[in-house]
């Protein structure tokens, strides 16, 4: 069986293969372009969409692109990318080597996503799965219920002459929110970083259900503003006197949400990640004889074992754990506000 290690990224020592390394590598396979999955690599392998967003966020690299479903042989192994439903171009990666099929999910969402390709479950022998919300506490309500709450909040704010400010990270959640709002006929204005990524989506062929504007101070009344969560305490938002802030995050269901998002008017559980039930379904339907969980609670692997699956949690390599220790609190806060 192929060995799997986590040391500042996923590493398969038998193949000398790095995936989503968070430090510079000679060559790295990238599942998607959220900043906790990319670094300044010399060469990358990714979908064309991820490669384009990588270039926007990191800069130039030697790029090998593979479209979904295209199998390519690299000598010791073959790679095939499949949609992960997390953001445009996000991928699960099938690695075939030594007669084994190993799938690394990257960040994944099985529910349909209005601004990303629909995820599939890829049959495999070994499943390495992100498990951010691998706790039964995180069972999201049907997305349509959350959409209706979002629309109701925007309607109420606009009729009260307030500006609805939707807080959503720049890649993925923003475009999901944008499409949902445009479908409903709102005028939408975007913070520059959300706008930039949305323009790349359009360049890559995504057709949004209407036009949208780049934020300007003079033209915010009567619109819904989408901005990154990190902006909420900055003058751009604080200077909007009559506003109603809405945070979109799976952590809305966390017991500590009221403290994490203090000052936000409404926190809605719209996530780009699978919830607990989806993660269990993914593990079961993959048919994997070995499931390795990562990036979530260690007890999720124990839950899977109770369901009869052979599962274990991938602990960080001691070197990586020690290196991360210093910035741990900050990193956790950033992950919870930006990458959910
Ligand atoms: Zn992500």
Residues 58 and 160 in one domain: no
Residues 180 and 217 in one domain: yes
- Ligand 1 centre to CA of 291 (Å) is 20
Closest Cα to residue 103, out of 28, 8, 12?
A: 12
- Ligand 1 centre to CA of 241 (Å) is 32
Q: Identify the pLDDT of residue 334.
A: 39
Residues 227 and 154 in one domain: yes
Q: What is the tens place of the pLDDT at every residue in 160-175?
A: 999 999 999 999 999 9
Q: What percent of the chain has pLDDT over 70?
A: 93
Mean pLDDT in residue range 238-248: 96
Backbone φ and ψ of 225, nearest 5°: -100, 130
320 — pLDDT class (breaks 50, 70, 90): low
Q: Domain boundary residue among 239, 268, 297? A: 268
Looking up residue 21, the CATH number of its domain turns out to be 3.60.15.10
Residues 22 and 134 in one domain: yes
Q: Which residues surround ligand 1, an ion (CB under 5 A)?
A: 34, 107
Q: In total, how many domains does the chain have?
A: 2
Residues 180 and 100 in one domain: no
Residue 258 tokens read as 């009221």
Residues 134 and 20 in one domain: yes
Q: What is the mean pLDDT of the chain?
A: 93
Q: Identify the pLDDT of residue 141.
A: 97
Q: Domain boundary residue among 268, 292, 321? A: 268
Q: What is the tens place of the pLDDT at every residue in 203-225?
A: 999 999 999 999 999 999 999 99
* Range of the structural domain that residue 50 is part of: 5-138+273-338
Residues 150 and 257 in one domain: yes
- Ligand 1 centre to CA of 73 (Å) is 26
Residues 134 and 278 in one domain: yes
Looking up residue 215, the CATH number of its domain turns out to be 3.40.50.10890
* Residue written as token pair 């991360």: 324
pTM: 0.93
Interatomic CA distance for residues 268 and 162, integer angstroms: 19
- Ligand 1 centre to CA of 218 (Å) is 33
- Ligand 1 centre to CA of 35 (Å) is 8
Residues 258 and 170 in one domain: yes
Q: Which of the 8 DSSP states describes residue 316?
A: B
Q: What is the distance of C-alpha 320 from the center of its chain?
A: 22
Closest Cα to residue 164, out of 235, 211, 212, 220?
A: 220
Question: For residue 333, is pLDDT > 70?
Answer: no
Q: What is the tens place of the pLDDT at every residue in 252-268?
A: 999 999 999 999 999 99
Residues 27 and 117 in one domain: yes
Q: Domain boundary residue among 240, 268, 296? A: 268
Residues 125 and 155 in one domain: no
Residues 279 and 262 in one domain: no
- Ligand 1 centre to CA of 32 (Å) is 7
Q: Identify the pLDDT of residue 316.
A: 74
């Amino acid at each position: 069986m192929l060995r799997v290690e986590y040391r500042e990224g996923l590493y398969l020592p038998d193949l000398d293969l790095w995936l989503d390394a968070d430090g510079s590598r000679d060559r790295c396979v990238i599942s998607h372009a959220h900043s906790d999955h990319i670094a300044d690599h010399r060469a990358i392998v990714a979908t064309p969409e991820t490669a384009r967003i990588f270039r926007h966020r990191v800069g130039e690299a030697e790029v090998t692109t593979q479209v979904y479903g295209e199998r390519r042989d690299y000598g010791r192994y073959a790679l095939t990318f499949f949609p992960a439903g997390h953001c445009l171009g996000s991928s699960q990666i099938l690695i075939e080597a030594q007669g084994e099929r190993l799938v690394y999910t990257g960040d994944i969402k099985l529910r349909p996503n209005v601004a990303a390709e629909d995820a599939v479950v890829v049959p495999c022998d070994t499943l390495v799965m992100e498990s951010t919300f691998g706790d039964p506490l995180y069972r999201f309500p049907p997305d349509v219920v959350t959409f209706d709450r979002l629309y109701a909040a925007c309607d109420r704010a606009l009729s009260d002459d307030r500006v609805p400010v939707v807080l959503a990270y720049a890649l993925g959640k923003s475009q999901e929110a944008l499409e949902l709002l445009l479908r409903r006929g709102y005028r939408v204005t975007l913070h520059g970083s959300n706008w930039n990524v949305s323009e790349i989506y359009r360049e890559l062929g995504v057709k949004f259900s209407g036009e949208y504007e780049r934020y300007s101070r003079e033209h915010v009344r009567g619109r819904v503003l989408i901005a990154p969560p990190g902006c909420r305490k900055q003058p751009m938002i604080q200077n909007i006197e009559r506003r109603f802030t809405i945070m979109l995050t799976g952590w809305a269901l966390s017991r500590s949400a009221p403290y994490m998002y203090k000052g936000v008017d409404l926190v809605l559980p719209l996530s780009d990640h699978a919830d607990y039930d989806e993660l269990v379904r993914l593990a079961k339907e993959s048919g994997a004889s070995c499931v390795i969980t990562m990036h979530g609670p260690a007890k999720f692997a124990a839950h899977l074992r109770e369901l009869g699956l052979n599962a274990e949690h991938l602990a960080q390599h001691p070197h990586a754990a020690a290196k991360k220790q210093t910035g741990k609190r900050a990193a956790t806060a950033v992950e919870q506000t930006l990458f959910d």
